[in-house]
């Protein structure tokens, strides 16, 4: 993608959703850190379901340590890998208490030393809790970066480094959320909603479908509301025979 196209892409994201938010629920930097650790290979919705009652009684590292691993487990047992995650959450709470005065550190290299915290988790915490212009590359951003031609890369780190270079500074703070929401609700892995995509004309994905109405594209935000119920039920169109164009798109799946 050319710089002017990238600028236009983010201009449109911003126009449609000026204040994008993540979907994980949290109260403070510590509960955000816990929620992000729990969200590895799990959906935000499943994490929110577990943390809603948990965060009513635990909001600090001291309270988490007092709760203990045994009593933490039942709260998070619906989340994948909950045994390992329970261990990590208790251990990282102990470290925050012993070495960081009970605060979540603001330095990436320190965050990454905590159990269960990798580069992606550190990027999310730095971005959301501390307002740093980091871009955590998850499966959605990896796909969107590659498909659209915005930031091609073979690994999440390659995509992240590319995004660092090409995203205009004015859009960096919110780029993470715009791209995640776009990948989650519009540029979906199996059925990207190209005909209603906000950036259809800018996207370089060879298998994309044409926009049905380029002057009235649908934003990720509105699709987020609408898409959930439609996905659950399956729209009439989705149930029918796929159009030849859609069948062609299915065969040409982009990198996920
Ligand atoms: S046009 Fe299709 S492939 Fe390209 S970004 Fe939009 S939804 Fe994704």
Question: Rounded to the nearest whole angstrom, what is the distance from the C-alpha of residue 144 to the centroid of ligand 1?
Answer: 8
Tens-digit pLDDT profile for the chain (256 aa)? 999 999 999 999 999 999 999 899 999 999 999 999 999 989 999 999 999 999 999 999 999 999 999 999 999 999 989 999 999 999 999 999 999 999 999 999 999 999 999 999 999 999 999 999 999 999 999 999 999 999 999 999 999 999 999 999 999 999 999 999 999 999 999 999 999 999 999 999 998 887 765 544 555 555 455 444 444 333 333 333 444 444 344 444 433 3
* pLDDT, position 221: 53
**Helix runs in the chain, H state only:** 3-16, 29-38, 44-57, 61-76, 82-99, 108-111, 119-128, 139-148, 156-166, 172-185, 220-233, 236-239, 244-251
The model carries a pTM of 0.80
- Residue ranges lining ligand 1, Cβ < 6 Å: 147-148, 186-187, 192-194, 197, 199-200, 203, 205, 208
Q: Report d(CA 56, CA 66) in Å as an integer.
A: 14
* pLDDT, position 207: 86
* pLDDT, position 232: 39
State the closest ligand 1 atom to the C-alpha of 194, by its place in the atom list counted from 1: 2
State the closest ligand 1 atom to the C-alpha of 207, by its place in the atom list counted from 1: 3
- Going by C-alpha positions, the residue among 2, 1, 9, 4 that lies closest to residue 197 is 9
* pLDDT, position 38: 97
* pLDDT, position 22: 87
* pLDDT, position 85: 97
Binding-site residue positions: 187, 194, 197, 203
- Determine the distance from the C-alpha atom of residue 110 to the mean position of all C-alpha atoms in its chain, rounded to a whole number: 22
Domains and CATH numbers, the chain: 3-18+137-247 (1.10.1670.10), 29-128 (1.10.340.30)
Assess whether 138 carries a catalytic annotation: yes
Assess whether 19 carries a catalytic annotation: no
* pLDDT, position 246: 44
* pLDDT, position 208: 83
- Going by C-alpha positions, the residue among 140, 141, 144 that lies closest to residue 204 is 144
Per the rule left: phi > 0, alpha: psi between -120 and 50, beta: everything else, 220 is alpha
């Amino acid at each position: 993608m050319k710089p002017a196209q990238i600028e236009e892409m983010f201009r449109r994201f911003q126009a449609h959703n000026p204040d994008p938010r993540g979907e994980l629920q949290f109260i403070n930097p510590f509960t955000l850190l816990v929620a992000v650790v729990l969200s590895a290979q799990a959906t935000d919705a499943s994490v929110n379901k577990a943390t809603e009652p948990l965060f009513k009684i635990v909001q600090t590292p001291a309270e988490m340590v007092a709760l203990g691993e045994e009593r933490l487990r039942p709260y998070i047992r619906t989340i994948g890998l909950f045994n390992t995650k329970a261990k990590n959450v208790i251990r990282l709470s102990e470290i925050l208490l012993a070495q960081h005065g009970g605060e979540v550190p603001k330095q990436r290299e320190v965050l990454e030393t905590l159990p269960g915290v990798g580069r992606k988790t550190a990027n999310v915490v730095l971005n959301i809790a501390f307002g740093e212009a980091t871009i955590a590359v998850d499966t959605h951003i990896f796909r969107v970066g590659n498909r659209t031609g915005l930031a091609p890369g073979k690994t999440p780190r390659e995509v992240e480094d590319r995004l660092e270079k090409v995203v205009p500074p004015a859009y960096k703070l919110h780029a993470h959320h715009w791209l995640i929401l776009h990948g989650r609700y519009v540029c979906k892995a199996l059925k990207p909603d190209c005909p209603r995509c906000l950036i259809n004309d800018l996207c370089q994905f060879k298998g994309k479908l044409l926009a049905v109405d380029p002057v009235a594209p649908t934003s990720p935000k509105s699709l987020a509301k609408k898409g959930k119920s439609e996905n659950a039920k399956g729209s009439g169109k989705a149930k029918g025979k796929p159009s030849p164009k859609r069948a062609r798109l299915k065969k040409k799946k982009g990198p996920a």
